[in-house]
Amino acid sequence: MVIRVSALRTDNTCNVTTVVRYGASVADEGELRLCGDVAGKRVIELGIAAPSNAVALAAAGARALAVDPSSDRIALLRKQAEQAEVTVQCHQSDVADLGFATSASIDLVVASHTLQDVDDLARLLRQIHRVLKPEAPFVMAGPHPIAGMLTTADGEQVVKHAYGSGATRSISDVFMAMQRTNFRIDMMHELMPLNARGALTPAVLVIRARKLGD
């Protein structure tokens, strides 16, 4: 497993992105290179980011699918896809309901800041494992759990939550959940912000895990 601590690059939010993004004002796929060449591959965006990563993946030549329970987010994705002149297959359902995809048929799953509210992470990971091809990657980005401990008071960061008790899971919780569902983590980035002077902690955690077994 490779762990890298990187700095965030500031950029402006746009309606359509041409590269997979791991959150607002963060290092993107152009720098992290976690997804690889997606041309001709079947890929799923699990929960629709803003802007949609499925559109960026389709623009790179992927056969892109997107899953999200929100009809509003799906409608926005379709507008972005039309603007980018690409096709994305959309499924309105819970992110853990991947019954539309046959087993071992997907080359890549990406989730960027869309899984924080998932209560049963193990169930979700089992579904992702089922649809991925062997050794295919699952790339997940979200708020760093240490950053989730903090809040700002009188212009300073102070601890508000115990580690792992707030809205973000601990790194060990994620690691163990992936291990128990037969994933191998091979890359981890803890991203420090450049656009926040005096930041004490990484802002974003990005993990790439690969499916083990059939």
Domains delineated in the chain: 2-211 (3.40.50.150)
Measured CA to CA, the distance from residue 107 to residue 91 in angstroms comes to 18
Q: What is the pLDDT of residue 117?
A: 85
Q: What is the pLDDT of residue 15?
A: 62
Flag residues of the chain having pLDDT under 50.
Answer: 2-14
Q: What is the pLDDT of residue 167?
A: 65
Q: What is the pLDDT of residue 1?
A: 54
| Tokens representing residue 117 in the block | 């509210």
Measured CA to CA, the distance from residue 186 to residue 26 in angstroms comes to 20
Q: What is the pLDDT of residue 166?
A: 62
| Tokens representing residue 24 in the block | 């607002």
Task: For residue 128, give the amino acid letter.
Answer: I
CA dihedral 10, 16, 21, 24 (to 10 degrees): 40
